[in-house]
Structure 1
């Protein structure tokens, strides 16, 4: 049986994980995922994104979750607290990514469960996210009790540059 672990790295730890996290981002983009990047994605671009993420962890505008399977990093997601005065109860979910070699093993679900637990612990009771309409992620969010807000046609581009629709979700967390 495989050993799955979810961790929340410090900013310093997140910085040291940049190459491994970049590998996941590159794999997802090369696999066709619409996750803000287009093909071809360079290592420099992917590492730059996660270096900025590590800086956001340091400043408190992101909480990074990392999934390891048998000691190998295979997934990640971010909880991004809204840092404005009238929304202390809200946070956004960003970049749920699982390397193709780790898919269909419950990793994305485990990451989301850990994220929701942390959000509750931080006093965040309303979460939001978006994903490609019709994607496996969309089905995962529905399975986890997220509410569909709506679909925006042509909101983003797939990794290959083709337009895609985006589904927006929200979830109220019990206090």
Structure 2
């Protein structure tokens, strides 16, 4: 990505709420409508996408979720990544990468990797030592995770439906972090 036209910023709960029905909902709809298995079925209505972001804002406000957005020219939201912290006392050393989304018009230019690195760095700075994530097996995202140093933990057949509702296998990955 061109560093002069791209800016990655953390989003506060208030900012997530303000953009839930606009750029963030549009990004989530684009991901689902282009085939990404991110928990929703197609067609994803704008109100449902905005509702998910409003619940993410509540989690951000409580400190359970952090959100970063990548913005391009004109402040368009081109991608996001979220980091969800584990809530149980014996799991506070770990987190989960969730909703790594890149608008289809911005894919293939390294934005997903940049967002992933942003979340990894923030997790390490927060003292987390282990991250996990899951993705549809065979998806383009798998290549990103493997080349970014993530380790495949295993695959569960028929774990989640794709946007058409067809059960697909899901592969879990983990990455150990070093504190800065």
Q: Is the pair's TM-score, using the shorter chain for normalization, greater than 0.5?
A: yes
RMSD of aligned C-alpha atoms? Answer: 1.0
Q: How far apart are 1:86 and its partner, in Å? A: 1.1
Instruction: Give the match for residue 152 of structure 1.
Output: 156
Structure 2 counterpart SS, 1:17: helix
Which runs of structure 1 show a deviation greater than 3 angstroms over 4 or more consecutive aligned residues?
A: none
Instruction: Give the match for residue 90 of structure 2.
Output: 86
Q: How far apart are 1:116 and its partner, in Å? A: 0.5
Q: Which structure 2 residues correspond to residues 7-86 of structure 1 after superposition, within 5 A?
A: 7-18=9-20, 19-70=22-73, 71-86=75-90
Q: How far apart are 1:150 and its partner, in Å? A: 0.4
Q: Which structure 2 residues correspond to residues 97-136 of structure 1 after superposition, within 5 A?
A: 97-136=101-140
Structure 1 counterpart SS, 2:88: coil
TM-score, normalised to structure 2, is 0.94
Structure 1 unaligned spans of 5+: none
Q: How far apart are 1:56 and its partner, in Å? A: 0.8
TM-score, normalised to structure 1, is 0.97
